[in-house]
Amino acid sequence: MNLDLVEVSPNASPPVCKILDYGKFKFQEQKRASEAKKKQQVVTVKELPVRPRTEEHDYQIKLRKAREFLEAGHKVKFNLRFKGREVSHHDIGKAMLDRIREDLSPITRVDFQSGLEGRFMSLIVSPDKKKMEAVAKAEKEATVEETSEE
């Protein structure tokens, strides 16, 4: 009948075997594995470099980029790098990371914030779905009110 004896569960007591078409069995296993792979979610970490003396306009651009990454579902890592003698003023760097954390707090949660590690400080934030939905809802209500006033 062109069927094979396949040991399905070798660790069971007693071992379990089936009589089936081995090629079809392998194909179905492969198909199940690919379906499971499709459903898994891959989280990527996007890195944004920052300096302690970053100007306001550049800061706003980095914040806007971070919001785009967060809305796409990615985590964002801010790397604050000190050059030369800046490292002696790590309080300025900490203030910069605190400001970033504060500005992004309506849509994120902080995963990790490091102290001074060599010449770097870092902050990792991830999107908070509930907060993002609440902000989107508030923005939508604000635009509806503006259009109704006109």
Residue 62 has pLDDT above 80, yes or no: yes
If pLDDT is split at 50, 70 and 90, which confidence band does 150 have?
low
End-to-end CA, the chain: 78
State residue 96's pLDDT score: 92
Q: Which helix (H) or strand (E) holds 7?
A: strand 4-9
State residue 81's pLDDT score: 93
Q: How much of the chain exceeds pLDDT 70, in percent?
A: 99
Spell out the domains of the chain, with CATH numbers in brackets.
4-39 (no CATH), 45-136 (3.30.110.10)
